[in-house]
Amino acid sequence: MDNQADGSSPLLVHGGQLNEVAQRYQIPLEKWLDLSTGISPINYPIPAIPENIWQQLPQPNQAMLSAAKNYYGTQNISVTSGSQAVIARLPALYLNHINQPANGIEVWLPEVGYKEHERAWHDAGFTIKNYQHLPTCEVLSRYAIVVVINPNNPTGELQQQQTLTTLLTTLESLSGWLIVDEAFMDVITPSQSLIHLTANKHLFVLRSIGKFFGLAGIRIGFVSAHPSWINKLQQLSSPWEVNGPAQFITEQALKNKVWQVAQQQQLIALSIRLEALLAKTFLPNQDKSNDPSITISGCGLFKTLVHPQATELYQKFCCQGLYVRLCDEKNALRFGIPDQEQYQILAKLLAEHSHS
């Protein structure tokens, strides 16, 4: 990761920046198809929120916390203002815990993945190691930290529960940490989550409400870890960090099992449909004549097209009013899952691309 003059990482580019992109390409906002995020196009319906919740300072919502414990299957959980807040605090938590200089500790991160993890550890002075495949005990040093995004964003690669459990045992023997970002785990069946193991002091699991429930705007998520770490993270938090309306909505969403089952079924069906459309457009020959440098992968919340002309395609699509995520490596485009109406627009735009 390149540094700025002050040694910090440069600002990272994320999806969801439609205002900026629309201005750059001089196309009115209402004319865009925005598939730039991995957020569900179908959101949990916002319930009527009691007026006093808007008026009061945020209060700890025990009913929401109970719903979260039931939904995630763990007692070791704390609400946060989105995963990003925890990602930013973990380096300081580790340094407060261990009497070692940051630059003597190796943090292993996926070569391709959500870069805010790397930025947080890099800016805190830790030694960054990137992996294509999970590091083994032979290369891991004492106090090592391994960050796993499971499933990976944007590749969709899924690590099996048993593989990560073995890695956790290794890191425990080294007095290190395993941090698993499970922001997209809700669409994985059967689940490969490690959240039920967070009584282990060497494990942290991050979960998101924004992705599966389609509620990124309310900025709420959860961290699961040993109670001693939960307490320390809460001490690092600001007062009233998670707003009251967000907690109320999340409580209802986590309790609604019928909606959750229907949501998962809808997202899987929509993602299969999207993958078929991308394959039809970019992999039209169902035999070995397909270009091996073009691949499609992902999960129930996004599909990623690896393509040698990814940058050119991104610019072309933007000129058509189609906004997708150009991945950090500039070799892939991540498509969010379109709903039924968006799918029709996307199919038309991709047909125009195929005939141009």
Residue 11 has pLDDT above 60, yes or no: no
Are the CB atoms for 123 and 166 separated by under 8 Å? no
What are the CA-CA distances from residue 274 to residues 84, 223, 321, 337, 352 (Å)?
28, 31, 18, 7, 16
- Nearest to 65, CA basis, from 234, 212, 200: 234
Residue 324 has pLDDT above 80, yes or no: yes
Percentage of residues in the chain having pLDDT higher than 90? 87
Two tokens, residue 242? 């998670």
Least confident of 9-13, 52-56, 344-348: 9-13
Residue 9 has pLDDT above 70, yes or no: no
CB atoms inside a 10 Å sphere around CB 159? 17
Write the secondary structure of 42-67 as one string of H (helix), E (strand) and C (coil): CCCCCCCCCHHHHHCCCCCCHHHHHH
| More confident position, 98 or 187 | 187
> Would you state the pLDDT for residue 287?
57
Give the mean pLDDT of the chain: 94
What is residue 104's DSSP assignment? G
Reported pTM? 0.94
Are the CB atoms for 136 and 116 separated by under 8 Å? no
Distance, CA of 304 to CA of 246 (rounded, Å): 30
Digit-coded pLDDT (tens) for 89-124: 999 999 998 888 999 999 999 999 999 999 999 999
> Would you state the pLDDT for residue 12?
64
Residue 10 has pLDDT above 60, yes or no: no
Distance, CA of 348 to CA of 135 (rounded, Å): 43
Distance, CA of 103 to CA of 122 (rounded, Å): 9
Q: Which domains does the chain have, with CATH numbers?
A: 18-43+258-354 (3.90.1150.10), 51-256 (3.40.640.10)
> Would you state the pLDDT for residue 289?
53
Digit-coded pLDDT (tens) for 26-73: 999 999 999 999 999 999 999 999 999 999 999 989 999 999 999 999
> Would you state the pLDDT for residue 6?
53
Residue 129 has pLDDT above 90, yes or no: yes
